Amino acid sequence: MPHWLQLMLDSLGPLLWAGLRFTVPLTLLSFAFGLTVGLAVALIRLFGPAPLAAAMRFYVWIIRGTPLLVQLFLIFYGLPSAGIVLDAFPAALIGFTLNIGAYSSEIIRAAISSVVRGQWEASYSIGMSWSQTMWRTILPQAARVAVPPLSNTFISLVKDTSLAAAITVPELFQAAQRIVATTYEPLILYVEAALIYLALSSVLSALQSRLEERLGRYGGFMEARA
């Protein structure tokens, strides 16, 4: 067996284990929390009082205008100077959550704004409150618009978690770095890590396509009823 293939086979287990133990949980938790933050920010910017809406615009401006890696460094290496010390995984989780929250808020805000005003009026005319209208009428329709870009954000997040290696989170990419430090075979190990990320992204892309097809059929059904 060629040396490079044997090395890849020997490294596959540790890399997959690091992915399952850190990369996947970090991705799922960051996206779930970030989506929650994004929805809250979007609603505040659209319907909240002016001071809060301004604060949310400032938050989005800061996050979108600075590199994710710098944000992670500020949280993990900068905050200890202010007396706030976080372990690597929670620091990465906070950084990714804030980043996803800012970007997803813009997607959700645009999706909500795309719902025609008549939907609000129709809901109010049958006695729905604002919150009932939002959760039963507006958000389900906005989801059709928001799901494709949010899915792309999720797929990008899977790859962006490799940046957590820079703040010592022992995820997939840092596992590859550790093996490189002992084998001195960076090309082979980094190619293997790239292939694993590619496989994860490809699976998620296929799931995204299936989801968009289902939403498209649902959308066609709703338009036919209208």
Q: Report the pLDDT averaged over residues 71-97.
A: 97
Distance CA 27, CA 176 (A): 18
CATH number (domain holding residue 119): 1.10.3720.10
Q: Cβ(17)–Cβ(35) under 8 Å?
A: no
pLDDT average, residue stretch 179-206: 94
pLDDT at 226 over 50: no
Structure tokens at 119: 């939907």
Q: Per the confidence metrics, is the pTM higher than 0.75?
A: yes
Mean pLDDT confidence for 75-101: 97
- Residue-by-residue DSSP string for 56-122: HHHHHHHHHHS-HHHHHHIIIIIGGGGT----HHHHHHHHHHHHHHHHHHHHHHHHHHHS-HHHHHH
Give the pLDDT confidence of 150-183 residue by residue, as tens digits: 999 999 999 999 999 999 999 999 999 999 999 9
Number of domains in the chain: 1
User: Which residue type, as a one-letter code, is found at position 81?
Assistant: S
pLDDT the model gives residue 207? 87
> Which range marks the domain in which residue 206 is found?
3-225
pLDDT band at 224 (very low <50, low <70, confident <90, very high): very low
218 — pLDDT class (breaks 50, 70, 90)? low
CB-CB contact of 38 with 101 (8 Å):
yes
What is the tens place of the pLDDT at every residue in 3-55? Answer: 889 999 999 999 999 999 999 999 999 999 999 999 999 999 999 999 999 99
- Return the pLDDT at 52: 97
Q: Rounded to an integer, what distance in angstroms lies between the CA atom of residue 104 and that of residue 98?
A: 10
The band of 219, judged by pLDDT with boundaries at 50, 70 and 90, is low
pLDDT score of 97 more than 50 = yes
Mean pLDDT of 55-59: 97
DSSP state letter for 48: S
